[in-house]
């Protein structure tokens, strides 16, 4: 169990009596289904049914939880997963543990704006005032602010501007994506096809870039969806971005098209180009 999830679960276990209540006689412990991608590798592997959202069976919980995968992939809040799983797959203890109100509010305030970008309000079933105030412990977490327009395809204004973008980026890669069949256990709708054409790999070692891009495809599904909106079956793209620990952050994406003269010129000139710094 990671130290992050351990500490969050410890906080939940320290909740006051107002946060706990007895399960009904029909309540039972079941294994978290492998198909519940939302709640895999969260530090525990059994949950109570019915859950805190009233789902009676694991199959119902799996089906309903899948709709939250794109938001989770958006990484709008570091604890969105633990909040949602406390409801979809509550810990199998003698008593139910409700998430505290401050955690709900923190996740809502960071993630609701992203949901609204796609026309979805914060659901009434997750109304934060229904959860108990956390008198003992308050979670004050600084959450990242994701953008609705991350990874939208751009057009290169000039080859020189694009070359300077390459200079400011940790990595620059030409890649080809193909669409996958839908899978309830995967966030990604696309996979890498063929070899990567690496223009710049920055601090990454030769074999690391492909595995990091595959991880990006899995974790940042909304970014990938924005990038492929006009190419629903996949296509070839040039992406640039930064390396943040184990994660790649794609900052700019371009459709690889031969008629884009600025893009073709920048890619051709890059090997001989000398960055200013």
Q: Show the 3-state SS of 136-170.
A: CCCCCCCCCCCCCCCCCECCCCCHHHHHHHHHHCC
SS3 239: strand
In this predicted structure, what is the pLDDT of residue 237? 96
Same domain, 14 and 120: yes
Q: How many domains is the chain built from?
A: 2
Structural domain that includes position 169 = 159-272
In this predicted structure, what is the pLDDT of residue 69? 86
Q: How far apart are CA 231 and CA 88, in angstroms?
A: 34
In this predicted structure, what is the pLDDT of residue 42? 87
Same domain, 121 and 185: no
Same domain, 112 and 180: no
Q: Is 43 left (phi over 0), alpha (psi -120 to 50) or beta?
A: left
Q: pLDDT tens digit string along 18-56?
A: 444 454 556 899 999 999 999 998 889 999 999 999 999
In this predicted structure, what is the pLDDT of residue 19? 45
Q: pLDDT tens digit string along 88-113?
A: 999 888 777 888 888 898 899 888 88
In this predicted structure, what is the pLDDT of residue 24? 54
In this predicted structure, what is the pLDDT of residue 133? 79
- Write the CB contacts of 71 (distance below 8 Å, at least 6 apart in sequence): 80, 111, 114, 115, 222
Same domain, 19 and 83: yes
Query: Residue 197, exposed/middle/buried by CB under 10 A (0-12, 13-18, 19+)?
Result: middle
Peptide bond just before 14 cis, omega within 30 deg: no
- Write the CB contacts of 165 (distance below 8 Å, at least 6 apart in sequence): 240, 252
Same domain, 180 and 241: yes
pLDDT per residue as tens, the chain (277 positions): 444 444 445 444 444 444 444 545 568 999 999 999 999 988 899 999 999 999 999 999 999 999 898 888 777 888 899 999 999 999 888 777 888 888 898 899 888 888 877 778 999 999 999 888 764 443 334 444 555 666 788 888 899 999 999 999 999 999 999 988 765 445 567 889 989 999 998 888 777 889 889 888 877 766 787 888 889 899 999 999 988 877 788 889 999 999 999 999 999 999 999 998 7
Same domain, 216 and 111: no
Same domain, 14 and 78: yes
In this predicted structure, what is the pLDDT of residue 165? 93
Q: Which domain-ending residue is among 115, 130, 145?
A: 130
- Which alpha helices (H) appear in the chain, and where do they start and end? 3-13, 58-65, 69-73, 80-88, 101-117, 159-168, 208-219, 221-227, 261-269
Q: Indicate whether 172 belongs to any domain.
A: yes
In this predicted structure, what is the pLDDT of residue 25? 55
Same domain, 231 and 175: yes
SS3 104: helix
C-beta of residue 69 within 8 angstroms of C-beta of residue 187: yes
């Amino acid at each position: 169990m990671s130290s992050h999830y351990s500490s969050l679960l410890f906080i939940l276990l320290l909740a006051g009596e107002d946060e706990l209540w007895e399960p009904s006689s029909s309540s039972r412990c079941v294994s978290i289904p492998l198909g519940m991608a939302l709640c895999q590798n969260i530090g525990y592997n059994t949950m109570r049914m019915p859950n805190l959202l009233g789902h009676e069976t694991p199959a119902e919980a799996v089906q309903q939880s899948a709709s939250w995968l794109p938001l989770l992939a958006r990484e709008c809040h570091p604890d969105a997963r633990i909040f949602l799983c406390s409801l979809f797959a509550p810990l199998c203890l003698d008593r139910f543990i409700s998430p505290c109100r401050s955690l709900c509010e923190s996740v809502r305030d960071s993630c609701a704006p992203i949901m609204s970008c796609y026309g979805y309000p914060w659901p009434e079933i997750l109304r934060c005032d229904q959860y108990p105030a956390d008198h003992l412990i308050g979670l004050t977490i600084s959450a990242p602010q994701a953008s609705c327009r991350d990874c939208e395809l751009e057009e290169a204004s000039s080859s020189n501007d694009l070359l300077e973008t390459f200079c400011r980026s940790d990595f620059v890669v030409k890649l080809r994506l193909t669409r996958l069949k839908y899978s309830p256990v995967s966030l990604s709708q696309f996979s890498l096809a063929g070899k990567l054409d690496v223009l710049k790999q920055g601090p990454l070692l030769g074999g690391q870039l492909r595995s990091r891009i595959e991880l990006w495809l899995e974790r940042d599904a909304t970014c990938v969806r924005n990038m492929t909106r006009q190419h629903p079956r996949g296509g070839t793209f040039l992406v640039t971005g930064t390396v943040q620990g184990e994660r790649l952050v794609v900052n700019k994406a371009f459709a690889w098209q031969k008629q884009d003269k600025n893009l073709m010129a920048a890619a051709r000139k890059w090997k001989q180009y000398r960055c200013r710094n």
